[in-house]
Amino acid sequence: MPDIRASAPVGPDGAPLLVLGCSLGTSSILWERALPLLAQRFRVSVWDLPGHGAAPASADAFSVAELADAVAGAYSGDFLYAGVSLGGAVALELALRYGRRVRAVAAMCSGARIGTPDGWAERAAQVRAAGTGSLLSVSAARWFAPGTIADDPDLTGRLLHALRDADDESYARCCDALARFDVRERLGDVRVPVLALWGEHDAVTPEGSAEEIGQGVRHARVGRVDGASHLAPVDAPAETARLLEDFFTRSLTEVGS
């Protein structure tokens, strides 16, 4: 099972546990602006991908399903879950594999398949040859909405440093996992409530990716994060927190919690 690192939960004692997942190349810094808002209502923990942030490097192959297994193993009892991009792919695997424990999930700026196998293979080869630093300029253009870097140079700069500092082989292993990830034909098996959010400016996982989830999952809602690109919690932390709180609160109420 891949080695991840989960932060100690923060928020009101006795509140529902909300687990947050990160996108490829980032770390828990991704949720820095939105987390305090979510922690007013939930107990919140963030986990880091292998070789990212506080998590140790991984030289072994793993799948997105195995990342979901690692997340489920890191926490006890029931929980809510929201993840961005690769973290959102984990959301869908959690819903499929741990429907009795995961009460509701949000897949943000994500999809039932993300990109193409050939594209991920090329990305993995580039990182193995030239390191994650070779991705900085392209990632900056994809990750952030127009104006975000100028408006918040500290946070965006630290996220780009997190990409540069991510372990090259672990990053490549994540690419390999995404190349194999495709749950489009299994969406009908999901029984827990799912929120599929897309960013207004996101060219990586645009509206169609969220709509595909919404059409395939029985209890799904689809929403847009205004003013956001691929890293919605950075571009629009307040709107992200509001959409997640509304969805999870409604989902808990609907199941009688």
What proportion of the chain, given as a percentage, has pLDDT over 70?
A: 99
What is the CATH classification number for the domain harbouring 228? 3.40.50.1820
Structural element, H or E, at residue 254: helix 237-254
How far apart, in whole angstroms, are the C-alpha atoms of residue 224 and residue 217? 17
**pLDDT score of 257 more than 50:** no
Burial of 123 (0-12, 13-18, 19+ CB in 10 A): buried
d(CA 129, CA 122): 11
Tens digit of each residue's pLDDT (9 = 90 or more) over 119-146: 999 999 999 999 999 999 999 999 999 9
Q: Residue 79 belongs to what domain range?
A: 5-254
Number of structural domains in the chain: 1
Task: Give the model confidence (pLDDT) of 40-83 as tens digits.
Answer: 999 999 999 999 999 999 989 999 999 999 999 999 999 999 99
The pLDDT value given to residue 254: 79
In the structure, what pLDDT confidence band is assigned to residue 255 with cuts at 50, 70 and 90? Answer: low
